[in-house]
Chain A
Amino acid sequence: MDGMTTSLVGLARFGRHASAVCVRSVTPPWSVADVAHHTWLLATRCALPVVAVVFPAGMVIALQGLLVFEAFGAERLLSSLVSVAVFRELSPVLASVLVAAQGGSAFAAELGAMKIREELDATAVMAVDPVRVHVVPRFLAALIATPMLHLVGCMAGVCGAWLVAVGFKGQTDGVFWANLWGLSRPVDLFGSLLKTVVFGALIGLIATYKGVQASGGAAGVGRAVNDTVVVAITSFIVANYFLTSALFGALR
């Protein structure tokens, strides 16, 4: 019962944090320079990990897909499957996992360290709203950078699949590219972009919440980072199911 109460209180606190951040995100004054700075930082930090994870994932899809399609003599459908899998599901999820692991945990670490060193309190004492100055730019950066990284992931995944299918397994180059859009439509890409915007927002909110709530010295910062990654990944994978049902269920 006690644990239940604690988690309900935590949820309520998170709701208050989320509404505070959202209200400040849509009301002026905005600090465009800060948002751009954090977006750039997040995108450059995450781009390499996203490529390094989605590229081998694309390679694996091509490997397993070829095994299946060879059994039916339908190898030409490989790139159609790759595009569906990468655009709709793999790239949004894996890109968001890495944004949570790399960007979200960095946000939690930075804000947590600021909180422990009482820099957030110092900001408030100077009559500067710490949420507006430190939290909102990071939240907006996660919101903006995640879809961009998703697009990077899409390209990396398709290139990975191309490398295995054409490079290693000797499929014809033209067949690969001609069938790429066989099953997926531009709507799929827009749907998945919408998903990544939601995932990015979730990551931004959870990371900044865990950061500003950190307590208990260096160990507290470590705990905040740990919690951020776990909670963010779990919550957007749960959200993913409902978004997929809503988006692609309706689009079918």
Chain B
Amino acid sequence: MNALATFGRFGWFVADVVAASLRHPLPWRRTIEEAWRIGVRSLPILVTISFFVGTNLALQGYAAFAPMGGQALLGMFVALAGVRELAPIMVAAMVAAKAGTEMASQIAVMRIREQIDALEVMAVDPLWFLITPRALGIVLVLPALTVVSIFTVIASSALVAVVQLGEPGVPFLQRVWATTSGLDLLVCSVKAAAFGTLICLVSCYFGYTSKPGPAGVGSATNAAVVVSAVACAILNYFISELAYG
């Protein structure tokens, strides 16, 4: 019952954000600032995670296919599992963990220090000033991050396939190339933009409605990352079903 009420309040919050964004001119400078911050700060961690996701993908794919003599399928496995599914969802998980928690804790701290009330007193719409640039920034930058992540996954799995597993490199990359298409990149970018919007709105909602005190900020940040990860995983299935099903 409580969850349902939260869901309803979240819906109102989203409607308010959309209305506030439409009512005022778009804050381009702040948007670029936020996009830069989210993108640059998340990049090193994202490349690290994608690298090791790729290495593991190659190891596990090899372990699964080698007993059947299907080593040649490794490239296809990496392309399907890594590019189509894992890269977007790992990017979403990492951005939720890094940028999402940061947004939640920043906005929660502003809330409990009454800075949000101060904005309202100065006749600045806090939703427009704080949340619109973050949402637009994350939507701008997340598809680019996903493409970086895809290339890292392919490169690291090729590295493991060639160096650790002793597979021939060129046929592997040809398999990857033959299995992926421009459509995959497009779907991944759409997924990334959708996940970004969701992560931003969920994290900002929990930050915006934070309870007072250090414990309140802590639990708002906590709720933000869990709820956005779960929401992205569920949304991922529906986008995949629409695109490939």
Interface residues of A (CB under 8 A from B): 49, 52-53, 56-57, 59-61, 63-64, 67-68, 81, 84-85, 88-89, 94, 97-98, 100-102, 105-106, 108-110, 112-113, 116-117, 183, 217-226, 229-230, 233-234, 237-238, 240-241, 244-245, 248-249, 252
For residue A200, give the distance in angstroms from its CB to the closest CB of chain B.
17
Determine the residue in chain A with the shortest Cβ distance to B53.
Answer: A237
Known contacts A52-B233, A98-B226; is A64 also within 8 Å of B81 by CB?
A: yes
Q: Mark B226-239, 1 if CB is under 8 A from A, else 0.
A: 10011001101100
Determine the residue in chain A with the shortest Cβ distance to B102.
Answer: A226
Give the segment of B30-38, B122-130, B214-222 that binds chain A.
B214-222
Known contacts A218-B213, A222-B221, A225-B105; is A238 also within 8 Å of B234 by CB?
A: no
Say what secondary structure dominates the interface of chain A. helix
CB pair B108–A222 under 8 Å, yes or no, is yes
Q: Is B175 an interface residue (CB 8 A)?
A: no
CB pair A229–B97 under 8 Å, yes or no, is yes
CB pair B225–A105 under 8 Å, yes or no, is yes
Query: B60, B217, B233: which contacts A248 (Cβ < 8 A)?
Result: B60
CB pair A53–B230 under 8 Å, yes or no, is yes
Query: Among the interface residues B49, B59, B81, B225, which one has the most CB atoms of the partner chain A within 10 A?
Result: B225
State in angstroms the CA–CA spacing of A114 and B219 once bound together: 13
For residue A158, give the distance in angstroms from its CB to the closest CB of chain B.
15
Query: A60, A106, A230, A233: which contacts B237 (Cβ < 8 A)?
Result: A60
For residue A109, give the distance in angstroms from its CB to the closest CB of chain B.
3
Chain B, interface residues (CB within 8 Å), range: 35 or more
Give the segment of B9-17, B61-69, B137-145 that binds chain A.
B61-69
CB pair B214–A229 under 8 Å, yes or no, is no
Determine the residue in chain B with the shortest Cβ distance to A89.
Answer: B60
For residue A9, give the distance in angstroms from its CB to the closest CB of chain B.
20
Determine the residue in chain A with the shortest Cβ distance to B73.
Answer: A68
Determine the residue in chain A with the shortest Cβ distance to B219.
Answer: A109
CB pair A183–B222 under 8 Å, yes or no, is no
CB pair A230–B60 under 8 Å, yes or no, is no
For residue A74, give the distance in angstroms from its CB to the closest CB of chain B.
10
Query: B48, B59, B229: which contacts A244 (Cβ < 8 A)?
Result: B59
State the 8 A-B residue pairs at the shortest beta-carbon distance, nearest first: A109-B218, A222-B105, A56-B237, A226-B101, A53-B233, A229-B97, A225-B221, A221-B214
State in angstroms the CA–CA spacing of A96 and B48 once bound together: 17
State in angstroms the CA–CA spacing of A102 and B222 once bound together: 6
CB pair B240–A60 under 8 Å, yes or no, is yes
State in angstroms the CA–CA spacing of A45 and B85 once bound together: 27
Q: Is B45 an interface residue (CB 8 A)?
A: yes
CB pair A234–B45 under 8 Å, yes or no, is yes
CB pair B230–A49 under 8 Å, yes or no, is yes
For residue B82, give the distance in angstroms from its CB to the closest CB of chain A.
11
CB pair B233–A222 under 8 Å, yes or no, is no
Q: Is B166 an interface residue (CB 8 A)?
A: no
15 A–B pairs (Cβ distance < 8 Å), ordered by A: A53-B233, A57-B233, A63-B244, A105-B226, A218-B214, A225-B101, A226-B98, A229-B101, A229-B225, A230-B94, A234-B45, A237-B48, A241-B56, A244-B59, A248-B60
| 8 additional A-B residue pairs with CB within 8 Å, beyond A63-B245, A105-B225, A238-B48 | A49-B230, A53-B233, A63-B240, A67-B80, A84-B63, A105-B222, A226-B98, A240-B52
Known contacts A105-B225, A222-B217; is A64 also within 8 Å of B97 by CB?
A: no
CB pair B49–A234 under 8 Å, yes or no, is yes
Determine the residue in chain A with the shortest Cβ distance to B67.
Answer: A183
Q: Mark B71-104, 1 if CB is under 8 A from A, else 0.
A: 0000010001100110001000110111001101
For residue B122, give the distance in angstroms from its CB to the closest CB of chain A.
22
Which B residues are in CB contact (< 8 Å) with A110?
Answer: 215, 218
Q: Is B112 an interface residue (CB 8 A)?
A: yes
CB pair B213–A252 under 8 Å, yes or no, is no
Which B residues are in CB contact (< 8 Å) with A252?
Answer: 63, 66
State in angstroms the CA–CA spacing of A108 and B229 once bound together: 19
